[in-house]
Amino acid sequence: MSVDIYWRIAMEGDAPALRLGDITRGGFGPYLPGALGPGLRGGAPDGYGPVDYMGEVARATERSGFVGGLMPSFPETDDPWAAAAALAGETTAYRFMIAFQPGFLHPVQAARMSASLQAATGGRVVYNIISGGGGPQQLWWGDKVAHDDRYARTSEFLDVLKGVWDGPFDHEGRFYRVEGAALPPELRGQPFPEIFFSGSSPAAIAAAGRHADYYLSWLEPFDALAAKFALVREHSDTPPKFAVRVDVLARETEEEAWEEVRAGWARLGDAQRTPDASESVGWQRGRAFTAGAGDDFRDLEVQPNVWGGFNRLRPGPLFGLVGDYHQVAARLDELIDLGVDAFILAGVPHLEEAQRVGRHVLPLLKGKIA
């Protein structure tokens, strides 16, 4: 089998280390002396912006053996569609996994944007479809559609987008209506982007069963992950492949890796060690797996090298892998044996950690890397 391994592009900015919290590179962080970007030179901004840092990460990860990069989308980031277009010329075969919520685009416009990027990049666009979330960020976009209805909207969105791709296409549904919608002749015939579909709720799993090429989950304890995959298969006429988003903290020795976690944990106050709740079902599942954990950071290790406290040290998923290079590679191999066909790995800082993982972890994997 072949396994595609992506790396996450830090569009929101990066801290210089996981143990340190302040963003000093990329993103829209403050102008600070010595920052990798944005920075100050002679007391004035040095002209190094967020896309410059993303370009460094994209080039480094392509050289390090990753097939592409996940480009997340938050209110505090550049737009991933525009950023992917800007970065396409920085790489040669690198795929751009664009995260977006279908409700914020019309499917006809999404088809045209996607086909344009496919034509410009030689077919290097991949979708990361997100429908869940909720809370203040959802309202930031002006979206008040309820959780399960968002998945119904996503499913209809993808029906229309696929129809337009092969159009002309007519559709009258709950959320969208189109008549004779089609791509311009010059954009027809492009490969349709692979779909990585995220979500842990029953509504998400049902929608993934219809549309996903890859069902994408955050890392969880391995037995829970296997049960989730089985549930997706039950809801799929044609079961998708499976992908997992994994933070990685790998060092030459296990002690060095855990020391990085300990140092990060030590800088947190008591309130930061109990993060705010989220409507995300994936987040709620993760919290349930660590319920009852004590105050020691090692109490969040739910099985060997699987640590559920990453969300305390940086925003995002709870679980990741901590250990020496061989241990981390062994856990990734276990996930491959579990049925994982693709990974989205991440680390802080994204630039140096991608190089470290590419140099020391990927060569140890028994699973064949595409």
The number of beta carbons lying within 10 Å of the beta carbon of residue 165 is 24
Pull the structure tokens for residue 11. 């569009």
User: Whole-angstrom Cα distance, residue 129 to residue 263?
Assistant: 35
User: Is this model's pTM higher than 0.85 or not?
Assistant: yes
- Give residue for tokens 């709950």: 174
User: Whole-angstrom Cα distance, residue 224 to residue 17?
Assistant: 30
Q: Give the per-residue pLDDT at 124.
A: 97
Q: Give the per-residue pLDDT at 359.
A: 97
Helix 50-63 to helix 350-360 angle, to the nearest 10 degrees? 0
- Give residue for tokens 């089998």: 1
DSSP 148-174: HHHHHHHHHHHHHHHHHHT--EEEE-S
pLDDT band of residue 189 (cuts 50, 70, 90) is very high
User: Whole-angstrom Cα distance, residue 342 to residue 244?
Assistant: 7
The pLDDT tens digits for 108-142 are 999 999 999 999 999 999 999 988 666 666 666 66
The pLDDT tens digits for 60-77 are 999 999 999 999 988 888
Q: Give the per-residue pLDDT at 174.
A: 96
Q: Give the per-residue pLDDT at 205.
A: 86
Helix 147-165 to helix 107-121 angle, to the nearest 10 degrees? 60
Beta strands in the chain (DSSP E): 2-8, 40-41, 44-45, 68-71, 95-100, 125-129, 169-172, 177-181, 194-198, 214-218, 241-251, 301-303, 306-307, 320-324, 342-346, 368-369
Cα distances (Å, whole numbers) of residue 278 to 198, 253, 302: 16, 34, 21
Greater pLDDT, 138 or 363:
363
Q: Give the per-residue pLDDT at 74.
A: 84
Greater pLDDT, 78 or 271:
78
Cα–Cα–Cα angle for 101, 107, 109, rounded to 5 degrees: 105
pLDDT band of residue 97 (cuts 50, 70, 90) is very high
Q: Give the per-residue pLDDT at 2.
A: 86
Q: Is the pLDDT of residue 149 over 70?
A: yes
Cβ density class 313-335: b for 16+ within 10 Å, e for less:
bbebbbbbbbbbbebbbbbbbeb
pLDDT band of residue 286 (cuts 50, 70, 90) is confident
User: Whole-angstrom Cα distance, residue 104 to residue 106?
Assistant: 7
pLDDT band of residue 270 (cuts 50, 70, 90) is low
- Highest mean pLDDT among 179-183, 234-238, 273-277 belongs to 179-183
Amino acid at 277: A
Cα distances (Å, whole numbers) of residue 97 to 11, 69, 146, 151: 13, 6, 26, 20
Contacts of residue 163, defined as CB under 8 A and 6 or more positions apart, other chains included, come to: 169, 171, 178, 181
pLDDT band of residue 337 (cuts 50, 70, 90) is very high
Burial class (CB in 10 A: 0-12, 13-18, 19+), 121: buried
Cα distances (Å, whole numbers) of residue 207 to 7, 33, 50: 25, 48, 34
Say if CB 370 and CB 341 are below 8 A apart: no
Cis peptide before 38 (omega within 30 of 0): yes
Q: Give the per-residue pLDDT at 51.
A: 87
Q: What is the mean pLDDT of the chain?
A: 89
Q: Give the per-residue pLDDT at 268.
A: 86
The pLDDT tens digits for 74-90 are 888 899 999 999 999 99
Q: Give the per-residue pLDDT at 43.
A: 72
Greater pLDDT, 341 or 146:
341
Say if CB 102 and CB 157 are below 8 A apart: yes
pLDDT band of residue 199 (cuts 50, 70, 90) is confident
Q: Give the per-residue pLDDT at 107.
A: 97
Greater pLDDT, 154 or 203:
154
Q: How long is the chain?
A: 370
The pLDDT tens digits for 2-51 are 899 999 998 888 888 899 878 878 777 666 665 666 666 677 766 777 88
Please provide residue 81's backbone torsions phi and psi, each rounded to the nearest 5 degrees.
Answer: -65, -50
The mean pLDDT value for 169-184 works out to 97
The pLDDT tens digits for 201-237 are 888 888 888 899 999 999 999 999 999 999 999 988 8
Please provide residue 362's backbone torsions phi and psi, each rounded to the nearest 5 degrees.
Answer: -55, -40
The mean pLDDT value for 253-261 works out to 97
Say if CB 362 and CB 332 are below 8 A apart: no
The mean pLDDT value for 233-246 works out to 93
